[in-house]
Structure 1
Amino acid sequence: MLTITFRWKLSQLPERTVKKHCKMCGSISVFTDTTVRRHNANGKNIYQYAIYKCENNHTWNKKLAIYKTFSEHVVEVDDQKEEFLILSTIAISSLAEQGIKIIHIVLDDAVGKHRIDKVLANQIEDWSRSQIIKKIEKGMIQLNDQIIKPSARLSKGECISIFID
């Protein structure tokens, strides 16, 4: 039975939040950065906005920069200075074609809160989150050789086992 092992380091970017008055809620709310950026052209200016949302899903556009429409003075803006750690994506179908039956994922580091179903849904190309949840409930995806709930949190040193049928 062929197995393959991946080593991951999970990190969590700090959420950018701003406390400000929400016109729709009528009170001071905490707005969280959605990491979505929007550009709007108005005359000779181009505006860049960061879209924030409050707890009630109301949006606020924070103005990040204003540019002129001519391109001789183009300046690249680093609005995200965090270092992103790219995890290896897993293509289950190609691994199954190679005869691999078990995938082990060892967590060398896990900073922040990470649910197993969300992490795997982001990193496995062939399976949706609902498919992953069903496989966790059937025991085809285990954490430290134990059957767990889909909402289980991941920690440093743990091992995820995925059994391919």
Structure 2
Amino acid sequence: MQIQQYALALHQQIKADTVKKQCKMCGKVTTFTDTTIQRHNANGKNIYQFAIYKCPKNHSWNKKLNIYKSFTEHVNPLSIVPTSFIEIEPGEKITSMQKGDFACEIKITSVNGIFRIDRTLADHLEGWSRTEIAHNIKTGKILLNNGLTKPSQKLSVHDKIFIDGK
């Protein structure tokens, strides 16, 4: 059995929103608007992702969006996405996977936002329902980083999803 290998970049559409919040500099409750600019902070083994909001007087507030794992050892950039991986375009589905005799590995190349494994696979696998995917995750037919996981697990950059279709 041959294993199909795919690369997937996950990006949520960013839209400006507003939040009513106490501005420490203005001293009153005001409306903060999302600038759609994001920043990342590294602290030890974690990388924090923030959205930058501004009040009408241009004071800023940072909203924490996500926490990612960082690498503890040097990573060769060429090993991140092997050339044998087929790139999955946004909105594209993997259609060559029939339920039966196949195996598939999906490498997450970048993540911008919060993505659950069950919802992501349901969006990118043709003919698979989210219920079927959740059942396969619970029974160990779908593995995350060569280990068992749960359907609500959030995906991070460099995660590997292995699907055993037997």
TM-score normalised by L of structure 1: 0.54
Instruction: Provide the residue aligned with 2:123 in structure 1.
Output: 122
Partner of 1:146: 147
C-alpha distance in 2 between matches for 1:117 and 1:134: 10
Query: How far apart in 2 are the matches of 1:138 and 1:13?
Result: 32
- 2:84 equivalent in structure 1: none
Distance in 1 between residues matched to 2:161 and 2:110, nearest whole Å: 13
Is the CA contact (8 Å cut-off) linking 1:2 and 1:100 kept in structure 2? no
Using the alignment, how far apart are the partners of 2:151 and 2:159 within structure 1?
15
Q: Which runs of 5+ in 1 are unaligned?
A: 21-84
Q: Which residue of 2 aligns with 1:17?
A: 17
- Structure 2 match to 1:86: 90
- 1:15-164 equivalences under 5 Å are 15-18=15-18, 86-91=90-95, 94-96=96-98, 101-164=102-165
Q: Give me the identity figure in percent.
A: 32
8 Å Cα contact 2:97/2:126 also seen in 1 = no
Residue by residue, what CA displacement relative to the aligned partner does 1:93-133 show, whole Å, maximum 9, x if unpaired? x4348x86210001111111110011111111211111111
- Mapped partners of 1:124, 1:95: distance in 2: 8
Offset, 1:88: 3.5
Alpha-carbon separation, structure 1, partners of 2:91 and 2:107:
12
Q: Give, as a single letter, the amino acid of the residue that structure 1 aligns with 2:112.
A: V
Bigger radius of gyration among the two: 1
The CA deviation at 1:90 is 1.4
> Which runs of 4 or more aligned residues in structure 1 lie more than 4 Å from their structure 2 counterparts after TM superposition?
none
Structure 1 residue 87: deviation in Å? 4.8
Paired with 2:163 and 2:127, the residues of 1 have a C-alpha distance of 13
Question: Following the alignment from structure 2 to structure 1, what is the Cα–Cα distance between the partners of residues 90 and 116?
Answer: 17
C-alpha separation in 2, matches of 1:115 and 1:19 = 25
Whole-Å separation in 1 of the counterparts to 2:92 and 2:4: 13
1:5 is matched with 5
Structure 2 stretches of 5 or more lacking a match?
Answer: 21-88
In the alignment, the residues of structure 1 paired with residue 12 and residue 164 of structure 2 have an alpha-carbon distance, to the nearest angstrom, of 27
Provide the rounded CA distance (Å) in 1 between the counterparts of 2:3 and 2:106.
11
Decide whether the 8 Å contact of 2:107 with 2:158 is kept in 1: yes
2-structure distance, mates of 1:18, 1:111: 20
Letter in 1 for 2:107: V
Output the TM-score relative to the length of structure 2: 0.53
Total equivalences in the alignment: 101
Per the TM alignment, residue 15 of structure 1 is displaced from its structure 2 partner at its CA by 3.9
Q: Which amino acid aligns with 2:97?
A: L
